[in-house]
């Protein structure tokens, strides 16, 4: 397989309205999310809830968080977080406008390193059959984040 980068690095952010932390302590580690009202994302392609992924040094914990709200989209999650309903796990670039204006506060920042962005995956010419010889683009391509897609091949 050949991977061609088609987007910048992606960094996730755990965010919430400052008012949420007036009633609760800020988590300092991913394990500290237990007992917090976390806003979940249901993945439409898999049907399950997205597992929050963290990394710091050699530690790569994953958190299956609990909360009262589940959405199918990141914008809805951010709107709920802005309204003080709980913690959201969203791409940093989507949360950034609200972080800059003080509408959202970030936690666990040191546990959210950047990840390799989206890549286009296609078979190399050596692996392809004679039917797949197209001059410009391969017939079979997958777009995804390298860290997620590479685990499935």
Domains of the chain, with CATH numbers? 9-111 (3.40.190.290), 118-152 (no CATH)
Model pLDDT for residues 10-41, shown as the tens digit of each residue: 999 999 999 998 888 999 999 999 989 999 99
* Residue 61: band (very low, low, confident or very high) from pLDDT cuts 50, 70, 90: confident
What are the strands of the beta sheet with 12-16, ordered from one edge? 70-71, 38-41, 87-91, 12-16, 105-107
Return the SS3 of 51.
coil
Return the SS3 of 111.
helix
* Residue 111: band (very low, low, confident or very high) from pLDDT cuts 50, 70, 90: very high
Query: Checking DSSP bridges between strand 87-91 and strand 38-41, what pairing results, if any?
Result: parallel
pLDDT at residue number 100: 87
What are the strands of the beta sheet with 118-122, ordered from one edge? 2-5, 118-122, 142-145
Mean pLDDT of 85-95: 95
* Residue 131: band (very low, low, confident or very high) from pLDDT cuts 50, 70, 90: low
């Amino acid at each position: 397989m050949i991977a061609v980068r088609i987007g910048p690095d992606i960094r996730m952010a755990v965010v919430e309205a400052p008012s949420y932390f007036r009633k609760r302590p800020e988590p300092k580690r991913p394990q500290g999310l237990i007992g917090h009202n976390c806003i979940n994302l249901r993945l439409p392609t898999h049907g399950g809830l997205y597992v929050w992924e963290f990394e710091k040094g050699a530690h790569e914990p994953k958190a299956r968080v609990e909360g009262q709200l589940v959405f199918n989209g990141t914008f809805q999650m951010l709107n709920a977080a802005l309204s003080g309903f709980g913690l959201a796990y969203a791409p940093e670039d989507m949360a950034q406008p609200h972080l800059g204006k003080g509408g959202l506060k970030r936690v666990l920042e040191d546990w959210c390193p950047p990840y390799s962005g989206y890549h286009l995956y296609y078979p190399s010419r050596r692996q392809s059959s004679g039917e797949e010889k197209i001059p410009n683009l391969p017939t079979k391509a997958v777009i995804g984040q390298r860290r997620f897609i590479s685990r499935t091949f």
